[in-house]
Amino acid sequence: MFYERASLSELSIALRNNTLDLFAYINHVCDRVETVDKEIHALLPERNRRKRLLSEANALINKYPLSHQRPQLFGVLVGVKDLFNVEGMLTKAGSKLPAEVFTGPEASLVTALKAAGALILGKTHTTEFAYFTPAPTRNPVNPEHTPGGSSSGSAAAVAAGFVPLALGTQTIASIIRPAAYCGIIGFKPSYGRMAMDGVFPFAQSVDQAGFFTQDISGATLASSVLVKNWNSDIRTNAKPRLFLPADAYLAQADYDAFNRFYEQADILNESGFEITQLPFLKDIRTLNHMHQTLIAAEFYLNHKKLYKEYGDLYSEHSKALYERGSKVSKDELSSYRLQLKQARADVKKLMSSEGVDAWICPAATSAAPRGLSSTGSPLMSLPWTWFGLPSITIPAGHSSHDLPLGLQIVGGQGRDERLLQDAAEIFHTFSYGSL
């Protein structure tokens, strides 16, 4: 087990106040990376990583010599999924394609992190083009198991304590699932509330950025830097009204994840949370098909020029997705986009009429599968990504094989601030904390 505690809220305070020496912190992390990343492969290799970071740290201290002037993330090391452009670092999108095809301006989320004082530890591994072909990353909790995908390296880097914060993206389940598998927190805000410029696209209709932390307070801190128009003053003292999307959707989870989820629901009910079962997502197979067809079509459009020149460098998974997308007509794609727009309006209306503060459900269909040939099923997150709703997974106990399980909490569109407050209350009710 290679898990190590790394609280974003605690580290940010310690670095700003000089109770943790920045150079000592960098050297500790670099020592750990040099030892542990040989086993889990969370980060892309970088020559002279330590030298670069110590130089950047020296410049940061010279810029902010007084602790009270230091920005929120002063000196905090962060990981960046290898879909985001970072000035001075190559982007490969987890592929064999030459880096120059991904060249472009730095992602504004990365620039925002730097402006808040963060230092980029490095790029983190992703599955190829954020799809199904696995990265080399292993799960820090148990390296014999997948960390999930597609944000494999970001989740693993946070779980291993290399960084207390890492950027990811989600087109189906690429933040929520790996966070659950690695026993950490993954937060995907509402569609459009985190900028996607400078990020190599998969399917723009549903692509969403997000991040990983180990602590809820750290997720709130990161949101204040990364989420558009974040309102830290929103407060509520009322317990959230929680709803279970009963029937066909939940039946996609395996026996262990399904039963453990209901155990978590019972704990919440006994702790005073109002929980209601609501028949919803009955036709989950149709929704799954629509989502997967739409992303295939948009993947095809995004890769059309690249594939003509570099198609032989694509994995079999990516080739199959490209071919599937090529068979979707313009009219069919337009129809799916219209249905997506209508679905988002319908779920907003439903949540308002039924008084749904948040949905709760398993974060994944199972605990992390053994082996690295698959990154696991994305089906527990697919509908929430389709609807563009904010979702978060928090650690919620362990499977019968002692692997982490996550509870997924899904809020209303644009109600991300309330979702994090609700998640914090639920997290503390469980009292699991870190692994």
Residue 123 appears among annotated catalytic residues? no
Q: Is the pLDDT of residue 433 over 60?
A: no
Say whether pLDDT at 308 is over 50.
yes
Nearest CA-CA partner of 13 in 218, 166, 155 = 218
Tell me the DSSP string of 360-400: EEESSSSSPPBBSS-----TTTHHHHHHT--EEEEEEEE-T
Query: Of 81, 92, 114, 123, which is the active-site residue?
Result: 81
How does pLDDT run across 124-143, given as a tens digit for each residue?
999 999 999 999 999 999 99
Model's pTM, two decimal places? 0.98
Instruction: Report the distance separating Cα 221 and Cα 204, nearest Å.
Output: 27
CB-CB contact of 210 with 223 (8 Å): no
Is residue 195's pLDDT more than 70? Answer: yes
Q: Is 431 a catalytic residue?
A: no
**Which candidate in 150, 152, 315, 381 is catalytic?**
150
Distances (CA, A) of 24 to 27, 163, 388: 5, 14, 41
Q: CATH classification of 241-280+342-426, choosing from 1.20.1530, 2.60.40, 2.170.240, 3.40.190? A: 3.40.190
Could you read off the pLDDT of 317-347 as tens digits, one per residue?
A: 999 999 999 999 999 999 999 999 999 999 9
CB 387 within 8 A of CB 359: no
Domains 8-226 and 241-280+342-426 fall in the same CATH topology: no
Residue ranges of the alpha helices (H) in 132-240?
152-159, 176-182, 216-226
Residue whose C-alpha is closest to residue 376's, from 385, 386, 367, 387:
367
Is 188 an active-site residue? no
Rounded to the nearest integer, the mean pLDDT of the chain is: 97
CATH number of 8-226: 3.90.1300.10
Q: What is the pLDDT of residues 398-430, one digit of tens each?
A: 999 999 999 999 999 999 999 999 999 999 998
Look at residue 74 and give its three-state secondary structure.
coil
What is d(CA 356, CA 411) in angstroms, rounded to the nearest whole number?
8
The pLDDT tens digits of the residues spanning 235-293 come to 877 899 999 998 899 999 999 999 999 999 999 999 999 999 999 999 999 999 999 99
Question: Does the pLDDT value for residue 167 go beyond 60?
Answer: yes
**Marked catalytic residue, from 108, 151, 174, 381:** 174
Domain ranges of the chain: 8-226, 241-280+342-426, 286-332
Residues 49-58 have pLDDT tens digits of 999 999 999 9
pLDDT in tens, 40-87: 999 999 999 999 999 999 999 999 999 999 999 999 999 999 999 999
Cβ contacts of 94 within 8 Å, gap of 6 or more: 82, 83, 125, 126, 127, 128, 129, 130, 133, 135, 150
> What's the pLDDT band for 431 if we cut at 50, 70, 90?
low
The pLDDT assigned to 430 comes to: 83
- Give, as one character, the DSSP assignment of residue 41: -
- % of the chain surpassing 90 pLDDT: 96
Instruction: Report the alpha-carbon distance of residue 379 to residue 176 in Å, rounded.
Output: 11
* Torsion 129-130-133-136 (CA) sign: positive
Given this model, what pLDDT does residue 108 score?
98
Give the model's pLDDT for residue 154. Answer: 99
* Percent of the chain scoring above 70 in pLDDT: 99
| 112-125 pLDDT tens trace | 999 999 999 999 99
